[in-house]
Structure 1
C-alpha cells in the first residue's frame, strides 16, 4: 500500500492553511512542533484551535513568534538552516524543494540571481515554520505521494514588501506555470508560500483520485468570507490498486527523467546506469534513437520517486554530456513482491515472486545474478544452474495462481 495525499485548493492555499489541514487530518501537533524546533529552535510555537469558515469547522494553526528578530534572509541562509537541522532526509528534501522553487520564482520576478534573492514575507519565522511544519506533518502521516486540485488565485490587489501588486502576486503567478488555476474569489487566495508548497510537493494536478480514504482534514485561513469557506481540505488514502488491472496491487505517482545524448563514449554508459541505480532510481535504461542529421544516439530514461528527482537529475547532468533533462510524472502500477530461496548445487539462488492483490503467485523468476554466481562457484554453465533453479521453483509450488511464497 502507498499513502497518497490529495490537496483541495479550490478555495485557495496558504502555508498556515495547509498546515492546519494536515494537523486536522491527524498529524500530532507536538511532533510537528518538534520538526519545526529542529530548524528554528526556541523561535516559534504552533498553536491550533477550531474555527468556523462559512459555517464549516476547520483547524486554524497560528505561529506565535517567540523572538523579536525578523530579518530578511537569503535563500542560501535558509538552505544552511535546513542542512544543519537534525531532521530526516525526506523532510529536508521536501522543504528544500519548496524553498528552491520559491527562490527561483522570486529570482525571475525581480531579475536577479537565485543566490541574491532576499525573502521578505517568505523569509519570516512564521513562513519558515509553515513550510517545515507541513513537511514534518507529511512524514508523520506516512505520505508517500501528493497531488492537488486546480488552485483558486483570487482577484484584486495585495500589499507586499515591494508595494501594492495585482493578484495573483508575481511570484505566485510564476510558480503557477504549468498548473491549472482560476481567478475566482476576492482577495489573495493563494500566497507564494502556498503555491510553492503545491508545486514542491505535488506530483500531479488532478481531481480527487481513486483511493481508499483513511483521513481528511480542513485548515482555515484568517478571513471568513460570506458564501465561501476559506479553507484548504486534504484527503489521505491508500492506493490499493488500479481499477483496470486484476493483478495490480499498488499504484503510485513517480517521476520519469529523460535526456537525449549523442556524444558520450559508449563505454561510459554502464557506469552511468550503475550510478543512477546506486542513487536510488527505481529503474534506469537506454533506448537507441536516431537524432537530427541522422546521428545515432541514446535516450537515457530514469524512473524515480519525487524525493530523489533532484539528486538523480544532478547525476544525469554530471555523468553525461547532456545539456538538459526532461521531467514528467507517470503512474506506476506494480505487483506485490516476495522472495523465496532455492538451493542449487549447494548454493543459494533467490527467486523473485510477484503476487496479485490476493497474494497469489503471478510469476516466479530466479535472480540471474545469483544464477551466475552459483554457476561460477560450481564451475558449470549458467544455463544449467538456470534450468535447475527453474525446476526448483516448480518443485516449491511457486506456479501461477498458487497461494504465494509463504
Structure 2
C-alpha cells in the first residue's frame, strides 16, 4: 500500500534533521550505513542518539568523517559516485539522491553563473552532506514512501558566514530552490540565523510533490529529528508523519475508485542541436527526477529536421527540469501543459534464476518490476539491467537470459491476473 510522508519544516530543515526523523520513524541505521558505504566506502560512519530539543525527545543523526581532508566535489564527481554505487544502494534511493544533488547543482550554478556539472559544492558537497542525502533517500525507500508533502519551510533571517563570505539569509542557493514552494522567515519575530540549509531545502524540494499542511492520512509512524543546537524557547526539530491516504489529495482527481495524479508535460522543439548530444540530455533529465523523457523527430520551420523533447514531470520538479532543458539544449523556451496520470501501484520482487545446466556457472537474482492494482498483478517484467548482468555471469545471450528470467518470474507467481502480494511458501 502506498505510503505518504508529511515533513514538518516549520522550524527549519537540514539534511541531518530529516535523516534523524526518518530513523526515529523506523528506518534501520545499519541499512542506511550500507547505502552510504556503497557510494563513499569507508569514508563516513552514521551514528544516532536520542536528545532533547526544546523539551521534545528527538533523534540526532551524526555523520563521523573517517578520512582526512575530504575533497570538494563537483556535480559530475558526485553523480559518478552515485551511478557507480554497488548493490547497497537501491535503484529508488539512487534516483532520489541524483535528483537532490541535481537540484542543488542547478541552484548553485544559477547563483554562481557556471554550468551545473562544474559546480563545486564546497560545504554541501562534503562527505557529511553525501551521507545526509544518500541516507535520507535510502530511508524513504526502506520505509516504502511513495510521495512527500512538505509544510511551509522556515528559512531564517539575518546573515550567515559561508565559503564565499557573509551571505544574507536565506542564502542565494536556498532562495533559488524555493521558487514555487511555501516559505516563512522564522519561528519567532525578530529571530535571526539560518534555519534551512541548502542540503535540507534540496531534499524537500526535490523529493516532495507539493507544499501544504498535514494531509488526510491513516498514520502508521512518526519521527522527530534534531538539529545541532538546542535553542531556548524553540524546538529545533524536523518532524515526519507517515501514513496511508484516507482521502484523495488536493493534487489528484478521481476516476471510479482510483486516484489520478497531476503531472506536467514540458516540451521544446529543437532544430539546431548536435544529435549526438540527445542521449545525454535525456539521461540527465531522468537522473534529475523526470518521470519520463523522450524524443520525437519532426519537420520544423523552413523544412528543417528537428526533434520535440518531451519531459513528464511532477509539479514540484517542473522548475528544475525546465531549467535543465534550457541549459542542456539550445532551446530558448519550454512549453508547459497539465496532464493527469492513471498509474498502477508498483513494487520490486526479486526472483532467483538458476545457472545454465552443464556449464558450472552460477545464476543470480533478478528484480521483477510488478505493476498491480486491487490485489492483482497487472504487469510483471524483469529489470533489464539485472538480466544483462545475469547474461554476463552465465555466458549466455541476453535474449536467452531474458527468457529464463521471465520463466523464473512465472514460477514465482508474478504473472498477470495472479494475486498480489504472492503467497510465500
Task: Answer yes or no: is 1:218 the counterpart of 2:224.
Answer: yes
What is the aligned partner in structure 2 of residue 374 from structure 1?
Answer: none
Deviation at 1:325, TM superposition (A): 4.3
C-alpha distance in structure 2 between counterparts of 1:138 and 1:67, whole Å: 27
C-alpha distance in structure 2 between counterparts of 1:56 and 1:330, whole Å: 43
Deviation at 1:281, TM superposition (A): 6.8
Deviation at 1:115, TM superposition (A): 2.7
Say if 1:241 and 1:250 are closer, same or farther in 2 by CA, change over 3 A: farther
Task: Answer yes or no: is 1:57 the counterpart of 2:94.
Answer: no
What is the aligned partner in structure 2 of residue 100 from structure 1?
Answer: 102
Does the 8 Å contact 1:2/1:240 carry over to 2?
Answer: no
Say if 1:71 and 1:179 are closer, same or farther in 2 by CA, change over 3 A: same
- Listed as ranges, the matches of 1:82-97 within 5 Å are 82-86=82-86, 87-97=89-99
Say if 1:175 and 1:258 are closer, same or farther in 2 by CA, change over 3 A: closer
Say if 1:38 and 1:307 are closer, same or farther in 2 by CA, change over 3 A: farther
C-alpha distance in structure 1 between counterparts of 2:226 and 2:242, whole Å: 18
**Structure 2 unaligned blocks of 5 or more:** 272-281, 297-307, 347-371, 377-416, 420-425
Compute the TM-score of the two structures, normalised by the length of structure 2: 0.64
Deviation at 1:324, TM superposition (A): 5.0
C-alpha distance in structure 1 between counterparts of 2:310 and 2:52, whole Å: 48
Higher alpha-carbon Rg: 1
Which of 200, 203, 220 is the equivalent residue of 2:206? 200
Does the 8 Å contact 2:267/2:311 carry over to 1?
Answer: no
C-alpha distance in structure 1 between counterparts of 2:146 and 2:212, whole Å: 17
C-alpha distance in structure 1 between counterparts of 2:173 and 2:330, whole Å: 32
Which of 255, 268, 280 is the equivalent residue of 2:263? 255
Secondary structure of 1:118's counterpart equals coil
Residue by residue over 1:345-386, the C-alpha shift from the partner in whole angstroms, topping out at 9 and shown as x without a partner, is xxxxxxxxx99x899xxxxxxxxxxxxxxxxxxxxxxxxxxx
Residue by residue over 1:154-189, the C-alpha shift from the partner in whole angstroms, topping out at 9 and shown as x without a partner, is 112111111111111111111111211111143110
Say if 1:220 and 1:326 are closer, same or farther in 2 by CA, change over 3 A: farther
Secondary structure of 2:111's counterpart equals helix
Compute the TM-score of the two structures, normalised by the length of structure 1: 0.67
C-alpha distance in structure 2 between counterparts of 1:212 and 1:165, whole Å: 42
C-alpha distance in structure 2 between counterparts of 1:250 and 1:223, whole Å: 41
**Structure 1 unaligned blocks of 5 or more:** 264-274, 287-298, 338-353, 360-403
Which of 162, 166, 171 is the equivalent residue of 1:169? 171
C-alpha distance in structure 1 between counterparts of 2:138 and 2:345, whole Å: 28
C-alpha distance in structure 2 between counterparts of 1:181 and 1:92, whole Å: 28
Over the aligned positions, Cα root-mean-square deviation in angstroms equals 4.3
Task: Answer yes or no: is 1:229 the counterpart of 2:235.
Answer: yes
Secondary structure of 1:59's counterpart equals strand
Task: Answer yes or no: is 1:113 the counterpart of 2:115.
Answer: yes
Say if 1:123 and 1:281 are closer, same or farther in 2 by CA, change over 3 A: closer
Secondary structure of 2:145's counterpart equals coil
Residue by residue over 1:250-298, the C-alpha shift from the partner in whole angstroms, topping out at 9 and shown as x without a partner, is 465x5321437699xxxxxxxxxxx9xxx997999x9xxxxxxxxxxxx
Secondary structure of 2:21's counterpart equals helix
Does the 8 Å contact 1:59/1:218 carry over to 2?
Answer: yes
